[in-house]
Amino acid sequence: MLSETIAAISTAVGEGGIAVIRVSGPEAISEVAQLFRSKTPLTEAATHTVHYGFIIDPASGEKAEEVLVTLMRAPRSFTTEDVVEISTHGGVVSVQRVMDLLLQQKIRLAEPGEFTKRAFLNGRIDLSQAEAVIDLIRSKSNKAFSIALKQVEGSLSGKIRLLRQTLLEALAHIEVNIDYPEHDVESLTAEFIKDKTGLVMSEIDSLLRTAEQGKILREGITTAIVGRPNVGKSSLLNSLAHDNKAIVTDIPGTTRDVIEEYITLNHIPLKLLDTAGIRETMDVVERIGVERSRNAVTEADLILLVVNASEPLHPDEIELLEQIRGRQLIVIMNKMDLPSQVDREVLSRYVADDLIVPMSVKDDQGVNDLENAISKLFFSGKLESGDLTYVSNVRHIALLKKAKQSLQDAYEAADMLVPIDMIQIDVRLAWEQLGEIVGDTAHDALIDQIFSQFCLGK
């Protein structure tokens, strides 16, 4: 209950410079004040002030710990409640000792995520902002962190609110039409609904497009290097990774297993997979390797098909090109240091010209062109602007898709002049589904489930 005062250790457990205990709730100031001796009594101190002093064990009257205490009075705090933060000396004993004394007062241990949950329940942030707080903590790259921070600040919430507002206008219009049908001809209302739902659908589409990029920025582009044996796939991996990770020999069939390597390219993480050369083979081990190559092709966000430019295209390569039609593909014409034999005309039937990259891995030629081709394929310059809101949470993506479907249904129904109260159901559904993203229409069980993913003290 929000009437209870809660406390938790908010810093990582272990030895460190200092550790912080956070206390929040109606009794935070008065309860901590009973344990704290300082020049200014905490109960009389102004908000957003820091106080030096000692935590006293009330049983013995002894000093338990030397601390700094920060006071934030409601509503100007993380939870919007009275918040007291106690900085102790870092170390397992000192922080636990203060914590134990606090829990002997009218203070209970907070559940994981309970501070953030209170910020949500008290209306300072919405659900998507709270979820972004977890993303902040879990971010593994600078870019992922920046995306989450934007969302903590409410970038996604703002957009969702606008869309819901638009749907509300449509719903109001429908309401008037149902109550006073004589005020309107039904076809005019249908047009109005098509207008509004169409608008919201296209906005949802552009948000969903950012989801693709958001995933890439967080998890990297899974990139499979594939091709026939001996064309230089492992050499390419080594060159991009600036490392001799993969074995390179002039014997076809050298690579047997999939080799993974992480690199960053223009700030974009790439998970490179070097694979066994694809060919028919009687060798049992190599056959398994070829099978794995095919699986890697299926999984990949991006396929780098390496061909040996000093030979004509092989039927196996044409077959592979047929199989991966429609996928994100770059063809690397390797070994350009040798006299060229490969038929560019044939390649052009499968890939755009700027996605065919001549290279000589041996002479270190063409690496820049490859990097540019990859950036262009995935980001076409948009990444740099930095003002995009990325949808990255799977829950949000699922709800956006559902809302879009509901709107699609409404749009089609309006188009066929289906009775207006039937259309109303779908528009209202979309409005609720969008509301679930920001938590306006979320159930308690969902809210509990989301906050239980947090760590203690957050």
Ligand X SMILES: Nc1nc2c(c(=O)[nH]1)N(C=O)[C@@H](CNc1ccc(C(=O)N[C@@H](CCC(=O)O)C(=O)O)cc1)CN2
Ligand Y SMILES: Nc1nc2c(ncn2[C@@H]2O[C@H](COP(=O)(O)OP(=O)(O)OP(=O)(O)O)[C@@H](O)[C@H]2O)c(=O)[nH]1
Pairwise CA distance, residues 340 & 347, whole Å? 14
> CA-CA distances (angstroms) from residue 62 to 18, 35, 57, 68, 119?
21, 11, 6, 17, 36
In DSSP terms, 6 is beta-bridged to 24, 108
**What's the min distance (Å) between Cβ of 288 and ligand Y?**
14
Indicate which of Mg ion, ligand Y, ligand X, none lies near residue 261 (CB less than 5 to 8 Å, by partner kind): none
Q: What are the φ/ψ torsions at residue 291 (nearest 5 degrees)?
A: -60, -45
**What's the min distance (Å) between Cβ of 221 and ligand Y?**
20
Pairwise CA distance, residues 58 & 422, whole Å? 67
Place of tokens 């109550």: 179
Query: 457 with 138: CB under 8 angstroms?
Result: no
Amino acid symbol at 127: L
249 is in an annotated binding site: yes
> CA-CA distances (angstroms) from residue 373 to 135, 266, 425?
30, 12, 46
Q: Is 307 exposed, middle or buried (0-12, 13-18, 19+ CB in 10 A)?
A: buried
Pairwise CA distance, residues 312 & 340, whole Å? 9
Minimum CB distance to ligand Y smaller for 276 or for 355: 276
Q: What are the φ/ψ torsions at residue 12 (nearest 5 degrees)?
A: -65, 145
**What's the min distance (Å) between Cβ of 201 and ligand Y?**
46
**What's the min distance (Å) between Cβ of 351 and ligand X?**
48
Could you give the 3-state DSSP secondary structure of residue 253?
coil
360 is in an annotated binding site: no
Minimum CB distance to ligand X smaller for 47 or for 323: 47
229 is in an annotated binding site: no
Among the listed residues 142, 158, 130, the one whose alpha carbon sits nearest the alpha carbon of residue 446: 130
Indicate which of ligand X, ligand Y, Mg ion, none lies near residue 235 (CB less than 5 to 8 Å, by partner kind): ligand Y
Minimum CB distance to ligand X smaller for 50 or for 422: 50
401 is in an annotated binding site: no
Of these, 77, 234, 238, 393, which contacts Mg ion (CB under 5 A)?
A: 234
Of these, 255, 389, 406, 433, which contacts Mg ion (CB under 5 A)?
A: 255
Q: Which residue is nearest to ligand Y (CB)?
A: 277
Interface with Mg ion includes 293 (CB under 5 A)?
no
Pairwise CA distance, residues 435 & 450, whole Å? 16
Minimum CB distance to ligand Y smaller for 11 or for 254: 254
Give contact residues for ligand X (rule: CB under 6 A): 20, 72, 76-78, 85, 124
**What's the min distance (Å) between Cβ of 10 and ligand X?**
7
232 is in an annotated binding site: yes
Indicate which of ligand X, ligand Y, Mg ion, none lies near residue 77 (CB less than 5 to 8 Å, by partner kind): ligand X
Pairwise CA distance, residues 262 & 223, whole Å? 10
Give contact residues for ligand Y (rule: CB under 6 A): 229-235, 248-250, 252-255, 276-277, 334-335, 337-338, 360-362
Binding-site sequence positions for (6S)-5-formyl-5,6,7,8-tetrahydrofolate: 22, 85, 124, 458
Q: Which residues bind Mg ion (CB under 5 A)?
A: 233-234, 254-255
